[in-house]
Structure 1
């Protein structure tokens, strides 16, 4: 699986926008995780379309309905006509809602949807087991102290993440974490368990 961040180096506040190509070629089943809020994403996708001769995105998955992650979805759908999935039915431009533990085919890979309410009620993570990859949106990954308060559904969902084999983590903001994903998550889970749970 080839993964690139299409909003890297953006001068506008935006989420990461991960483009997944699930085969040997750029055109194989391209999936976009989050659209970001930077309008330049359109010209970036158009450049990909020109270089490959293929539609640059077939599917968009939104990790949660905050503007920095989803505001370019209507324009991307207008330009390239991908299907678009999100947890929240309020996300403008989606074609259907996602369900917890749903599995989506991505070329030769499978992507599992994991609902993890915490940052927002509609937050999801996306897990690819054969690549040991987790896309987290704005779900907090580094939880370093025990002075915070967490809701029990978030704790349970985070424990669920830790049962998976994860090497790399692709967050909604910042750089990808390319090793030790499980160790990072387990340290955070220990701090969650030692925090106040309501």
Structure 2
């Protein structure tokens, strides 16, 4: 899939399949990997499971960075190998370092993400939004130019991401969605870490139900 919003920069979606493991359990999952760029350069959002289809979507472009929404193993499993193959830096919020170390012990991410960081790629900019709750260092990436936000596992079609395992907290994720995501324009398309897209406008009316669920 490839989408644009009038810019040279486009968004390509790659779906890879593998497993997610945490707290002694393992589950089969399909992950969305997003490639954002123009014909010459791009960034990756997440690095899940299978290198080959990701490299095919890159299509020989220079990779300016691998931006990680969070450090669950299904989102970072091939991050180090991809970074080495492509000569790209990995970027992760430091509050997810403990999770990262469970998958890549002894090899840290190249650079930290911080709330408000900006990444310019092609003719658009991605802003880092720290959106903890699914994990302490979960981040979303907002592009006003493209009218999209990449939310990882923070917000899905139908509501917040899972918070029933270690390192997660339901009230925190609802606060993150409320304060950082639902304040975006309602037409903003939400590109998620798994499954189908949604929009901010489609999810906003359900906020109170999420709050009530947490009590």
* TM-score tier after normalising by the smaller chain length: 0.7 to 0.9
Please, what TM-score do these two structures have when normalized by structure 2? Answer: 0.72
How far off its partner does 1:42 sit? 5.9
Counterpart position of 1:131: 146
Confirm or deny: 8 A CA contact 2:47 2:76 kept in the other structure. Answer: yes
Counterpart position of 1:4: 12
Change beyond 3 A, Cα 1:11–1:158 = closer
Which ranges of structure 1 fall in alignment gaps of 5 or more residues? none
Q: List structure 1 segments (4+ residues) > 3 angstroms apart after TM superposition.
A: 10-14, 89-93
Question: What are the within-5 Å matches in structure 2 for residues 74-89 of structure 1?
Answer: 74-87=80-93, 88-89=96-97
* Higher strand proportion: 2
Counterpart position of 2:31: 15
Counterpart position of 2:190: 169
Q: Deviations over 1:10-38 (max 9, x none)?
A: 454442111111x4xx22x3010001012
Q: How many residues align?
A: 178
Confirm or deny: 8 A CA contact 1:119 1:140 kept in the other structure. Answer: no
Q: Cα RMSD between the aligned structures? A: 2.5
How far off its partner does 1:105 sit? 2.0
Which ranges of structure 2 fall in alignment gaps of 5 or more residues? 1-8, 19-28
Residues 1:192 and 2:213 are matched in the alignment: no
Please, what TM-score do these two structures have when normalized by structure 1? Answer: 0.78
Paired with 1:127 and 1:42, the residues of 2 have a C-alpha distance of 21
Counterpart position of 1:120: 135
